[in-house]
């Protein structure tokens, strides 16, 4: 049986953050602690604003060049997560955010997680193409209705019947 520690971590995180704020407040003073928390929140807000536009530009550039944009997208998502962690008051989340800002840590996280991510694209033959999903059935207005008119029986000319019989 696999046990997830994420719920326990989410419950313990606020308590750990409060303890961290008390310890830092004792060392540097209450006013300096509040200043540090405000400074990290402002930095996180600025980073979030900057990364929101930058990620999409980098992903589009990768796609235009015919390369797989998943690494850039993952790095951008981790940067946005780092910005959100900076906005959350506390020093533990700030430490996690600073770690996510380091490119080697993001590369390590990407190498660890990329095997768990399923791509819905095909980058073979040197280009970016949407994955083909099989037959597409194009229905006319009369081929389908939501009315409860089942008394006339099934329509034997329906594209759904033709696909099933093929």
CA proximity to 62, closest of 49, 48, 52, 75: 75
Q: What would the pLDDT profile of 19-51 be if each residue is shown by its tens digit?
A: 999 999 999 999 999 999 999 999 999 988 887
Return the H-helix or E-strand segment holding 11. Answer: helix 6-28
CA proximity to 94, closest of 40, 42, 15: 40
Cα separation, 88 vs 81, in Å, equals 11
User: Please, which pLDDT band fits residue 70 given cuts at 50, 70 and 90?
Assistant: confident
Q: What pTM does this model have?
A: 0.65
User: Please, which pLDDT band fits residue 10 given cuts at 50, 70 and 90?
Assistant: confident
Q: Where are the domains of the chain?
A: 6-117
Tokens of 154: 């099934």
Cα separation, 158 vs 166, in Å, equals 13
């Amino acid at each position: 049986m696999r046990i997830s520690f994420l719920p326990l971590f989410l419950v313990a995180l606020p308590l750990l953050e409060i303890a961290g704020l008390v310890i830092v407040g004792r060392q540097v003073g209450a006013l300096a602690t509040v200043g540090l928390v405000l400074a990290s929140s402002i930095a996180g807000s600025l980073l979030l604003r900057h990364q929101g536009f930058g990620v999409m530009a980098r992903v589009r550039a990768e796609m235009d060049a015919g390369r797989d944009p998943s690494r850039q997208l993952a790095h951008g998502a981790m940067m946005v997560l780092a910005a959100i962690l900076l906005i959350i008051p506390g020093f533990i989340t700030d430490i996690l955010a600073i770690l996510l800002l380091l490119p080697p840590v993001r590369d390590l996280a990407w190498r660890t997680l990329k095997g768990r991510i399923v791509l819905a694209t095909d980058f073979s033959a040197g280009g970016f193409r949407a994955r083909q999903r099989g037959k597409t059935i194009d229905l006319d207005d009369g081929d389908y209705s939501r009315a409860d008119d089942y008394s006339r029986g099934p329509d034997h000319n329906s594209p759904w019947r033709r696909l099933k019989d093929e």
